[in-house]
């Protein structure tokens, strides 16, 4: 019986949020007197797979069937369910992500599992199994009692900071029987901006709104992001106007992020925008309007023109 | 073609969330309830498909009597009839069970819903329903077109998007820009009153999760303002004080 962690790959590397999930799962294993096993799907080399040990997993089940090269939530759920069965796992941990969401839902259906999404603390086991999660798009928290035999915890990014140790996990090939039905959706085309830092994974985010006036002005945002090794994001009107791709839109109806640093440039700070970014650890707001509501939710603020301030900040970062 | 659109009734996006009864219940006083914004996208696309293909739309809500205004609004926007499963929708598995039970009786070609509710933000119901019905589920769906019984779909992935094809029946979790939200017109509001709204009792009662209590986040400390003429100090403060860069 072990705690099972689904660790997700991005181009053959364990995602940072999955490293956090492995560490979280290892802590739950310690609390429940079991070990932590990670299940990893898709092509990756053995050294990378074994590196799950750095975050506390003792074993990695590697499913490398050629059919699993493309991320596919339905087939991944079949694999993880089979791994949970083999390991006798009653607790399954994973990092919340677009792929993990699709996978988790099918998995919960298969296992009749009690599920908590956006988990932000280790469980409390003193009286049953209780976890704290973020709800109302970051505006509140819930203490959830998970009553089902199998429990799935989808961890919000930046919930836990992994301590790394000098250890490797043993790697075992894992080849469960796959369902043909899981492969009926055919992928025709994938468009991905390559080389950029994935927004949901980013520790630092530079974001801009309608105050930038037009897509041709995004250079100053990108320059600061590049200097900081940050991802870029935007407000909803900016993606609605097609100034930036929809995958950068953060907020109530966009992506929810929780980076260590969120720098908002020329964004008013409407409640719907805040809803997607309010769990950032540090918020910086740059706006020429001293009455912009965003200043009320910021840690640091500058009243000023983004066209003047951003290039100066970029220079200051480069000088660090 | 038969489309089932599943909608949630949630506090308006601008609501300040507060709790009562020793932090065990949402304080509903003064809160306006709306259709989940993502569900609005699902419904709007269903109405467009109805206009094109003559499909029928049933709207389904798992909720208590106080969600009927939201259901009526969906009827005013263009759904043909409605079903309300009379239960509090707190647990994703339980809600999915209710939807799947209705879907098994009525073989829908498309089951559309929002990619997540904006109260519990689970984003799980569509996938669990798909699993229970043994049909594919796809989310978050940004574009949906039909070519006979083949759906052409664009789905958002991290850092990009993916084009997919799949045969109906399907369960989809929707988001923008799949369609423009629709506002009910006067005629829609009038006819909505006479459209059938069936109330049924839930099946399968065990909830796998329950919420013991709620909590509000601690307020952020006061903002530290930096004069524009020394904006560069921000970078020093982020480095030495906040230690985030
Ligand atoms: C149901 C619903 C869901 C929504 N979901 C989202 C969501 O997910 N995400 C989201 O972002 N919004 C969302 N919105 C929209 C939201 O309400 C706001 O309209 C939006 O966030 C405003 O974007 P903005 O701040 O970029 O633009 P604006 O409101 O136009 O603000 C621009 C800001 O830039 C400042 N500015 C202008 N020029 C300069 C300059 N040169 N230098 C510095 N500052 C400057 C202005 O002072 C102003 O504060 C939603 C709305 C609804 C109704």
Domain that holds residue B23: 2-216
CA A279, CA A152: separation in Å to the nearest integer?
A: 22
Treating both helix axes as pointing N-terminal to C-terminal, what angle do A98-111 and B92-106 enclose, rounded to 10 degrees?
A: 70
Domain assignment of residue B228, yes or no? no
Is B138 near chain A, with CB under 8 Å?
A: yes
Cβ-Cβ contacts under 8 Å for A280 (sequence gap 6 or more): A205, A257, A258, A259, A260, A261, A262
What confidence score (pLDDT) does residue B227 get?
97
Measured between beta carbons, which residues in chain A are less than 8 angstroms from residue B157? 71, 98-99, 190, 192, 247
- What percent of chain A shows pLDDT beyond 90? 92
Q: Which of B68, B11, B173 is nearest to A102 (CA)?
A: B173
Domain spans in chain A, listed from the N-terminal domain onward:
2-183, 199-319
CA B117, CA A187: separation in Å to the nearest integer?
A: 27
Handedness of CA B114, B119, B121, B125 (dihedral sign): negative
Task: Work out the number of other CB atoms within 10 angstroms of the CB of residue A313.
Answer: 26
Joined tokens for residue A71: 């991320």
CA A224, CA A261: separation in Å to the nearest integer?
A: 13
If residue B174 lies in a helix (H) or strand (E), which one and from where to where?
A: strand B170-174
Joined tokens for residue A281: 């650890």
The class of domain A2-183 in CATH terms is alpha beta
CB of A285 closer than 6 angstroms to any ligand 1 atom: no
Domain assignment of residue B187, yes or no? yes
- The reply to whether domains A2-183 and A199-319 share a CATH topology is yes
Q: Which of B209, B236, B238 minimises the CB distance to A147?
A: B209
CA B213, CA A145: separation in Å to the nearest integer?
A: 9
Domain count, chain B: 1
Interface test with A, best of B208, B213, B241 (most A CBs within 10 A): B208
What strand order describes the sheet that includes A282-287?
Answer: A231-234, A204-208, A261-265, A282-287, A300-303, B224-225
CA A282, CA A302: separation in Å to the nearest integer?
A: 14
pTM to 2 decimal places: 0.94
Residue A196 — pLDDT band, cuts 50, 70, 90?
confident
CA of A170: how far to CAs of A48, A54, A250, A314, in Å? 11, 12, 39, 44
pLDDT per residue over A34-66, tens digit each?
A: 999 999 999 999 999 999 999 999 999 999 999
What confidence score (pLDDT) does residue A197 get?
87
Domain assignment of residue B147, yes or no? yes
Q: Please give the average per-residue pLDDT across A119-148, as a whole number.
A: 95
Which residues in chain A (51-80) have CB-CB distances under 8 A to chain B?
A: 71, 73-74, 77
Tokens 């250079």 -> residue: A219
CA A143, CA A130: separation in Å to the nearest integer?
A: 6
Which overall architecture, per CATH, does domain A199-319 show? 3-Layer(aba) Sandwich (3.40)
What confidence score (pLDDT) does residue A192 get?
83
pLDDT per residue over B96-151, tens digit each?
A: 999 999 999 999 999 999 999 988 888 999 999 999 999 999 999 999 999 999 99
Q: What is the DSSP letter of B222?
A: P
Asked if the model's pLDDT at residue A80 lies above 90, the reply is: yes
Measured between beta carbons, which residues in chain B are less than 8 angstroms from residue A296? 223
Residue A195 — pLDDT band, cuts 50, 70, 90?
low
């Amino acid at each position: 019986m072990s705690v099972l962690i689904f660790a997700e790959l991005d181009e053959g590397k364990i995602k940072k949020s999955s490293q956090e999930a492995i560490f979280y799962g290892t802590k739950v294993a310690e609390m429940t007197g079991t070990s932590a096993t990670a299940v990893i799907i898709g092509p990756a080399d053995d050294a990378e797979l074994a590196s799950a040990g750095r975050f506390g997993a003792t074993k990695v089940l590697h499913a490398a069937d050629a059919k699993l090269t493309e991320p596919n939530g339905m087939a991944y759920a079949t694999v993880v369910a089979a791994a949970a069965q083999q390991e006798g796992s009653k607790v399954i941990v994973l990092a919340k992500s677009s792929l993990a969401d699709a996978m988790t839902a099918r998995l919960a259906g298969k296992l009749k599992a009690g599920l908590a999404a956006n988990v932000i603390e280790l469980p409390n086991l003193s009286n049953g199994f209780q976890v704290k999660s973020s709800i109302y798009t970051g505006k509140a928290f819930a203490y959830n009692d998970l009553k089902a035999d199998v429990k799935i915890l989808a961890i919000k990014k930046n919930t836990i900071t992994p301590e790394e140790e000098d250890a490797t996990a043993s790697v075992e090939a894992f080849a469960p029987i796959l369902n043909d039905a899981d492969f009926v959706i055919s992928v025709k085309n994938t468009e991905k901006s390559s080389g950029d830092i994935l927004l949901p994974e980013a520790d630092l985010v530079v974001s801009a709104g309608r105050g930038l006036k037009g897509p041709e002005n995004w250079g100053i945002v990108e320059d600061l992001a590049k200097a900081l090794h940050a991802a870029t994001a935007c407000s909803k009107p900016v993606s609605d106007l097609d100034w930036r791709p929809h995958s950068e839109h953060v907020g109530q109806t966009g992506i929810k992020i929780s980076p260590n640093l969120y720098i908002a440039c020329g964004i008013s700070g409407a409640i719907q925008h805040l809803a997607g970014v309010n769990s950032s650890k540090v918020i910086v707001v740059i706006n020429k309007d001293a009455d912009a509501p965003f200043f009320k939710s910021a840690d640091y603020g500058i009243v000023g023109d983004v066209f003047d301030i951003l290039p100066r900040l970029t220079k200051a970062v480069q000088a660090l | 073609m038969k489309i089932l659109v599943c909608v949630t009734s949630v506090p308006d996006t601008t609501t300040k969330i507060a709790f009562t009864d020793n932090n065990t219940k949402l304080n509903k006083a003064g809160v306006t309830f709306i259709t989940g914004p993502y569900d609005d996208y699902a419904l709007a696309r269903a109405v467009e498909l109805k206009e094109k293909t003559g499909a029928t739309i049933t709207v389904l809500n798992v909720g208590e009597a106080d969600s009927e205004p939201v259901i009526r609004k969906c009827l005013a926007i263009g759904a043909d009839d409605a079903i309300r499963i009379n239960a509090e929708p707190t647990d994703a598995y339980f809600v999915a069970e209710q939807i799947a039970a209705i879907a098994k009786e009525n073989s829908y070609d498309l089951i559309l819903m929002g990619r997540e509710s904006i109260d519990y933000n689970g984003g799980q119901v569509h996938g669990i329903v798909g699993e229970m019905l043994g049909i594919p589920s796809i989310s978050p769906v940004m574009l949906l077109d039909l070519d006979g019984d083949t759906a052409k779909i664009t789905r958002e992935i991290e850092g990009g998007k993916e084009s997919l094809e799949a045969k109906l029946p399907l369960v989809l979790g929707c988001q923008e820009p799949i369609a423009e939200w629709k506002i009910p017109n006067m005629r829609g509001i009038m006819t909505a009153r006479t459209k059938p709204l069936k109330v049924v009792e839930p099946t399968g009662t065990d909830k796998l999760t329950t919420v013991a209590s709620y909590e509000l986040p601690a307020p952020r400390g006061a903002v530290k303002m930096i004069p524009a003429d020394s904006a560069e100090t921000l970078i020093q403060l982020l480095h030495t004080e906040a230690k985030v860069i």
